Amino acid sequence: MKKYWKLTLTLTGIIVLFITFTLQKDRPIKELPQYSFNTVEGDSSLLDDLQVIGDTYDMQYNTYTEFKLTEQSFEKFELLPFYKQEAYQYLPNAIEKLKKEDKNFMRQKSFDDLYDINEDYAAFITLSFSGVWYNYNELKVDIKDRKKDEYKEFTLNVKEDLQLNDITLDQMLIVEDYLYLTVTDYNATEDLYDEDIHLLTIDMEEERVIDSQELAHISDDGTGEENYEVDFVHNEEGSQAAMALYYWGEHERELEKVIYFSGNNEKQVLDVSEGDLAAVADDYLIFVNYENGKSSVDFYSLTEEKFTEHIHLDEYHFVDNTVIEKDILYFTAVNDEIETKAALFAYDLYTFEPLYVGEIVPSKTDQRYAMSISALEFIH
User: Which residues fall within 8 angstroms of residue 90, CB to CB, at 6 or more apart?
Assistant: 53, 66, 68, 77
User: Which residues fall within 8 angstroms of residue 232, CB to CB, at 6 or more apart?
Assistant: 116, 171, 172, 173, 180, 241, 242, 243, 244
Report how far residue 283's alpha carbon sits from residue 305's, in angstroms, rounded to the nearest whole number. Answer: 10
Decide if residue 83 touches another protein (CB under 8 A): yes
Q: Which burial class, exposed, middle or buried, applies to 49 when counting CB atoms under 10 A from its CB (0-12, 13-18, 19+)?
A: middle
Q: How far is the CB of 334 from another protein (least distance, A)?
A: 23
Q: Which of 91, 94, 50, 53 is nearest to 75 (CA)?
A: 53
Q: How far is the CB of 236 from another protein (least distance, A)?
A: 26
Report how far residue 10's alpha carbon sits from residue 8's, in angstroms, rounded to the nearest whole number. Answer: 5
Decide if residue 109 touches another protein (CB under 8 A): yes
Given the complex with another protein, which of 91 and 270 has the nearer CB atom? Answer: 91
Given the complex with another protein, which of 25 and 312 has the nearer CB atom? Answer: 25
Q: How far is the CB of 29 from another protein (least distance, A)?
A: 9
Given the complex with another protein, which of 86 and 339 has the nearer CB atom? Answer: 86
Q: Which stretch, 75-83, 191-199, 226-234, 298-306, contacts another protein (CB under 8 A)?
A: 75-83
Q: How far is the CB of 25 from another protein (least distance, A)?
A: 5
SS3 of residue 17 by DSSP: helix
Decide if residue 184 touches another protein (CB under 8 A): no
- Quick one: which of 2, 100, 103, 380 contacts another protein (CB under 8 A)? 103
Report how far residue 183's alpha carbon sits from residue 188's, in angstroms, rounded to the nearest whole number. Answer: 16
Decide if residue 82 touches another protein (CB under 8 A): yes
Report how far residue 120's alpha carbon sits from residue 98's, in angstroms, rounded to the nearest whole number. Answer: 12
Q: How far is the CB of 132 from another protein (least distance, A)?
A: 8
How far out from the chain centre does Cα 365 lie? 28
Q: DSSP H helical segments within the chain, as ranges?
A: 5-24, 27-30, 93-101, 158-162
- What would the x/- binding string for another protein be over residues 3 to 42, using CB under 8 A? xx-xx--xx-xx--xx-xxx-xxxxx--------------
- Quick one: which of 43, 44, 48, 61 contacts another protein (CB under 8 A)? 61
Q: How far is the CB of 140 from another protein (least distance, A)?
A: 10
Decide if residue 151 touches another protein (CB under 8 A): no
Angle at 48 between CA 46 and CA 52, to 5 degrees: 95
Q: Which stretch, 103-111, 146-154, 236-244, 250-258, contacts another protein (CB under 8 A)?
A: 103-111
Decide if residue 84 touches another protein (CB under 8 A): yes
Decide if residue 364 touches another protein (CB under 8 A): no
Q: Confirm if 88 and 65 have CB atoms less than 8 A apart.
A: no
* Interface positions with another protein (CB under 8 A): 3-4, 6-7, 10-11, 13-14, 17-18, 20-22, 24-28, 60-63, 81-86, 99, 103, 107-110, 126, 129, 131-132, 134
